[in-house]
Chains A and B, each alone.
Chain A
């Protein structure tokens, strides 16, 4: 079984200050982990992914995340928030359906990021 816990349902930061969105995961297997962003009434866009290579993963728009196996965490960070970062962020863990090689994604409940001007 696998699961994802996003520790904060809402995060508010001032423009220009750092962003930290927390995620812990549980997986019986070596996981693949992702962060997706969803802007209001839009689809999901992939920010970054971890698939057992480098533990520090850089994504789009200045975001990065660090895979820490000992802490079972995959927190998302950005040094300086921009107004356009306001959105819903989902931490996702995948389970490889081994017979077929593809992934079933398990989503966290989301963190709504608000940027204060």
Chain B
């Protein structure tokens, strides 16, 4: 059973460009979470999605950031018009649809904005 897959592992963008980060959950997992880790900090929750639904986006910046988890295909975290402050590691986690279960993390995407 493959783990959580994220791609790309490294992404470089210039200010003003768009960044698309993809996450494929573990097989059988229908819940996806996105977290952001700024340099020298812990991870901060951004958004929690189930298939075709955003359940909790309380950690998402109000502008430029969006997330989706379509019926088919990976979850996408999209950042429009990136700025230098968006440079961070973005981690995706997935879990099965049960309470009090463990979230399994992907290797992360390291976004660098020039």
Mark A residues whose CB is within 8 Å of B: 32, 34, 36, 41-46, 49, 51, 90, 94, 96-97, 100-110
Task: Decide: B106 and A102 in contact? CB cutoff 8 A.
Answer: no
CB neighbours (8 Å) of B102 from chain A are: 34, 46, 49
Task: Decide: A107 and B43 in contact? CB cutoff 8 A.
Answer: yes
Q: Which 10 A-B pairs have the closest CB atoms?
A: A107-B42, A101-B99, A43-B107, A44-B105, A107-B43, A109-B42, A43-B105, A51-B100, A110-B42, A43-B108
CB neighbours (8 Å) of B97 from chain A are: 101-102
Task: Decide: B42 and A43 in contact? CB cutoff 8 A.
Answer: no
CB neighbours (8 Å) of A103 from chain B are: 95, 99-101, 103
Q: Does B33 contact A (CB under 8 A)?
A: yes
CB neighbours (8 Å) of A102 from chain B are: 31, 48, 55, 95, 97, 99, 101
Q: Does B27 contact A (CB under 8 A)?
A: no
Task: Decide: A97 and B42 in contact? CB cutoff 8 A.
Answer: no
CB neighbours (8 Å) of B33 from chain A are: 104-105
Bound CA span A113–B42, Å: 15
CB neighbours (8 Å) of A108 from chain B are: 42
Mark B residues whose CB is within 8 Å of A: 31, 33, 35, 41-45, 48, 50, 55-56, 91, 93, 95, 97-108, 110
Q: Which of A46, A90, A94, A100 contacts B104 (CB 8 A)?
A: A46
CB neighbours (8 Å) of B106 from chain A are: 43
B43 to chain A, nearest CB (A): 5
Bound CA span A43–B93, Å: 10
Contact A104 to B99, CB < 8 A, known contacts A43-B106, A43-B107, A90-B43: no
Task: Decide: A32 and B100 in contact? CB cutoff 8 A.
Answer: yes
Bound CA span A45–B102, Å: 11
Which A residue's beta carbon lies closest to that of B98? A101
CB neighbours (8 Å) of A90 from chain B are: 42-43
CB neighbours (8 Å) of A107 from chain B are: 35, 42-44
A20 to chain B, nearest CB (A): 19
CB neighbours (8 Å) of A110 from chain B are: 41-42
Bound CA span A51–B103, Å: 13
CB neighbours (8 Å) of B100 from chain A are: 32, 51, 94, 96, 103
